[in-house]
Structure 1
Amino acid sequence: MIQLGILLTNRYRLLSVAAILDVFESVNRFYADDDKAPAFNISLFCMDEIDTNHAAEFKGYRIESICEAQKQDLIFIPAFNAANIVQAIGENQKYIPWLQQQFKAGAELACVCTGAFLLGATGLLNGKTATTHVDACPQFAHAFPTVKLQADKVVTGDGGLYTSGGSTSSFHLMLHLLQKYCSKDIAVRTAKLFSIDMDREQQTYFSTFSPVQAHNDELVAMAQQNIEAAYHNAGTIEELIKEIPGSRRNIARRFKQVTGITPIEYLQKTRIEAAKKLLVQTNQQMTEVMINSGYSDPKAFRKIFRKTVGMTPTGYREKFYIS
């Protein structure tokens, strides 16, 4: 029987824990229906002190301390329900050496969404591929620069370490693991039960460009304001920053240092975000959307949009249009 552990971290998202339990309990029922022993022995783990609230939320499960935990085969780290991920990681420091020990002993580790930040804090992801919620990727890249972040991916797996994108991507992660630990048949049965689209590989079309605004660099703030005010009229980035004191090289250096991207990338992302809003919130023709978001070349617009978002402008409208 596969030993499956789920961490009940501080500030965990109840939805992500519930989804893990629902999927693997369902798989055990598949086995029971086929007159087979359950595939997974599911355990829930907390830090030293057992929180009685956890016991109430997960009636029927014994909540164990990590101090008492036996070796696990697979451990899930749920997403965090916190705006301040750094604070959430600080509150879960005790899990870090335990996860390191379990991994060294042969356990595989899987993260749901922003749970990747806790795995990143263990150092085990250094030099390996990972993903997380698409909107949390800039913060993750800044916090863990040696991790090979693949922001567009729904699921990654590298050396026994697994990560997934936004919350619903956790289902794709679980399907991937079910195919490994059980069989493709079990993965397909699970996908049908939960109506999961098995072939989704990208999450970029769920992203929202949320640039860093809370900083003290007035020069960078001026550049950001200029771009956001005139992205649809300016032809080049030079036109938008020409009135800002300092050389373009110095502006570009400081801009990337503060925001994580270059002024040109910032302009493109601002334009694409504007185009996305026009596509789903208005009935403007595609040519109008292109012009109103700052582009003049249809071919270039489609190419940049698809590269940034992961689908064509037409496909994006069909998927998300608000009628």
Structure 2
Amino acid sequence: MKHISLLNPIGETSLSSMEATYKMFSKINEALQSTGKEALFDIQIVGLSDEAVSSGRIFSIRSDTTIHQLKKTDLIVIPAIHGNMKDIVAVNREFVPWIQKQYQLGAEIASLCVGAFLLASTGLLNGRSCTTHWLSANEFSSMFPHVKLMPYKVITDERGIYTSGGAYSSLNLILYLVEKFAGREMAIRSSKMFEIDIERNNQSQFIIFQRQKDHEDLTVRRAQELIEENFRERITVEDLADKLATGRRNFERRFKKATGNTILEYIQRVRIEAAKLSFETSNENVNEVMYNVGYSDSKSFRTTFKRITGLSPTQYKSKYNRQIAV
């Protein structure tokens, strides 16, 4: 039987991710036992103490056991914890040596959504791939620069460490683990019972481009403003550098350092975000939107749009246009 430790951290823990994790593994046990087979999972809520931990102002969660009592586990699941991430990591630092020890003893670890911050604080993600909620990507990269963040991914799986994207994409990771431990048939059954798209592997379509202005470089910030004001026109790096009276190579280096994007990538992201808004709110066709956001080459527009959003322009419009949806 595989022992699953569902952590009960201090802070505003996502009750939905905790309950969904507990329930999905429990339902596998029930399904197996209904056919005369043994349960696969022993699921326990594990905290720092036996006292109930408050999550928000309404609910509290009581642990089944503590990290001081539990000597060995097979899978640690870290739920999402909301709030100031530096404070959350600090107040839960007592979990860190226990998680590190369990991994050394052979346990696997899964973080859900922004639970990746607590996982990254152990150092076990250094040099490895990871995902988290796309809204927290910049903060995560700033706090943990040695982790290979992949904010477009729904799931990462690397040497016994798993992470999931934002919010309810955590369910896709739990389903992925169900398939790994209980088989494809059980995973399909769970996907139908909980109505989860078993094949979803990308959160790009949900990302809203954040303008990446949380920096102190005034020249770069002015460049961003120029791009956002003139993205429908032809914009070159040389033109921007000339307008800002700065050398091109130094300007490109500063822009990348401040925003995390090259200048070309930033222009593309601004244009595609404008295209997404048009597809969501207007009746314009793909070509009209393409020209309105500064593209003249259909292949380039479609390729860039799909790379950034994970969907073709037509697919995106069909899925998110308000009038089509109605």
The answer to whether TM tops 0.5 is yes
Q: How does 1:188-199 map to 2 (within 5 A)?
A: 188-199=188-199
Alpha-carbon spacing, 1:250–1:62, altered in 2? closer, same or farther (3 Å): closer
One-letter code aligned to 2:93 = Q
Q: Secondary structure at the match of 1:101?
A: helix
One-letter amino acid of the structure 2 residue matched with residue 275 of structure 1: A
* Alpha-carbon distance between aligned partners in 2 of 1:165 and 1:52, rounded to the nearest angstrom: 25
String of CA shifts for 1:8-47, please: whole Å, max 9, x gaps: 1223212211211221121122122112332211111222
Question: Secondary structure at the residue paired with 2:12?
Answer: coil
Tell me which residue corresponds to 2:87: 87
Q: Percent identity?
A: 38
Q: How does 1:42-191 map onto structure 2 within 5 Å?
A: 42-48=43-49, 50-51=51-52, 53=54, 57=59, 62-82=63-83, 84-191=84-191
Deviations along 1:291-315, one digit per CA (max 9) or x if unpaired, are: 2212111111111111111121111
Residue 148 of structure 1: how far off its partner (Å): 2.9
2:310 partner amino acid: G
Bigger drift between 231-240 and 112-121 goes to: 231-240
Partner residue of 2:17?
16
Name the structure 1 match of 2:34.
Answer: 33
- Go from structure 1 to structure 2 and tell me whether the alpha carbon gap of 1:192 and 1:58 turns closer, same or farther (over 3 Å shift): farther
Label 1:91 to 1:52 Cα distance change in 2 as closer, same or farther (>3 A).
closer
> How far 1:49 sits from its partner (Å)?
6.4
Contact 2:51 2:63 in 1 (8 A): no
**Partner AA of 1:152 in structure 2:** Y
TM superposition score normalised by structure 2:
0.91
Secondary structure of 1:4 counterpart: strand
Aligned Cα root-mean-square deviation (Å) = 2.0
Summarize deviations over 1:39-96 as a string: whole Å, max 9, x none: 2111112224623546x9577x6442222223111110011222x3233222221111
> Residues 183-206 of structure 1: CA distance to partner in whole angstroms, max 9, x if unpaired?
222111111111122112222111
1:263 aligns with 2:263: yes
Contact 2:50 2:64 in 1 (8 A): no
Distance 1:13 1:6, change over 3 A: same
Aligned equivalents of 1:46, 1:115: Cα separation in 2: 15
Q: Distance in 1 between matches of 2:289 and 2:17?
A: 37
* Range with greater deviation from structure 2 (129-138 or 290-299): 129-138
Q: Distance in 1 between matches of 2:25 and 2:196?
A: 15
Amino acid aligned to 1:69 = L
The answer to whether structure 1 residue 301 and structure 2 residue 295 are counterparts is no
Aligned-partner SS, 1:254? helix
Deviates more, 1:301-310 or 1:6-15: 6-15
1:15 maps to a residue whose letter is S
Identify unmatched segments of 5+ residues in structure 1: none
Partner of 1:286: 286
Code of the aligned partner of 2:315: G
Equivalent pair of 1:111/1:164 in contact (CA under 8 Å): yes
Moved over 6 A (4+): none
Name whichever of 213-222 and 70-79 sits farther off: 213-222
State the number of aligned residues. Answer: 320
Q: Please name the residue that 1:224 is paired with.
A: 224
| Contact 1:234 1:240 (C-alpha < 8 Å) held by counterparts | no
Could you tell me how far 1:180 is from its partner in structure 2?
1.9
Q: 1:232 to 1:203 in 2, by over 3 A?
A: same
1:254 corresponds in structure 2 to 254
Q: Is the 8 A contact 1:230 1:240 kept in 2?
A: no
| Preserved contact between residue 141 and residue 147 of structure 1 (Cα < 8 Å) | yes
Q: Distance in 2 between matches of 1:108 and 1:233?
A: 50
Aligned residue identity for 1:261: N
Secondary structure of 1:242's match? helix
Counterpart position of 2:276: 276
SS at match of 1:43: strand
